[in-house]
Amino acid sequence: MCRHIAYLGPARSLADLLTERDNALLTQSWAPCDMRGGGTVNADGFGVGWYADTEQPVRYRRSVPMWTDANFLALCGAVSSGAVLAAVRSATVGMPVIDTACAPFTGDQWLFSHNGRITDWPDSMAVLAAGLPVTDLLTLDAPTDSALLWALLRHRISSGATPEDAVAALVTEVAALAPGSRLNLLLTDGETVIGTAWDHALSVLSGVDDVVVASEPWDDDPRWQPVPDRHLVVATRSGVRTRDLTDHTTKTGMT
């Protein structure tokens, strides 16, 4: 079912964020703690996106286990950023194990990741996919549920929806068409992280000037808070709030 993490705050090395913690994303690639029946390891690839001095994020992704990529592990100690999104992948049976199937997906200033699966793929998504421009379908990164989710989300944002509303609407529509789907999404532009917890785990660690949103806590810090199921979280360096996805009028804060 994959694992992912987003960070906003003072610049930190990728090693600090992804490989050196007690339960870092690297560890979650071979020993995840909370897959909830969605596989046992995340060895079908990985990807990392980070924001440097340009508006467009930098991305690195491979279809091999993170622990086998010595070049990436060396890179982690040399690269620092104040905005990072990374994921490790457990491929759904029948979907390809290729570099371009790995999150994060990107376009314009965005980075996107999906932790979970869509049930009854691809038939359940035919109605939503039919609303996309043909060129968007022809240029999908890969024939996977996650790549289609990114195309749908990007199209809604480019058509004028706010990122928060686009994420909320997409998750609820997909869940209605494909009951039983697991839809933990992460979207960031380097300034804000929008995430969803839908039938899978998501947690937030908020500090004075930084925030982490992750499938699993990277340590036992008591400040980690679980995002309630079927909620959306909006996180910035200065604060966090949640929104009930079953009631679009309800918003609550997380401290």
CA atoms within 13 A on the CB side of 125: 23
32: helix, strand or coil = coil
Q: Is 2 one of the annotated active-site residues of the chain?
A: yes
Burial pattern 213-222, b for ≥16 Cβ within 10 A else e, equals bbbbbbeeee
Q: Which of 218, 142, 211, 149 is nearest to 184 (CA)?
A: 149
- Is residue 148 within 8 A of residue 183, CB to CB? The reply is no
**Cα distance between residue 35 and residue 216, in whole Å:** 9
**Cα distance between residue 137 and residue 145, in whole Å:** 12
In the structure encoding, which two tokens stand for residue 72, read together? Answer: 């990436």
Q: Which residues are catalytic?
A: 2
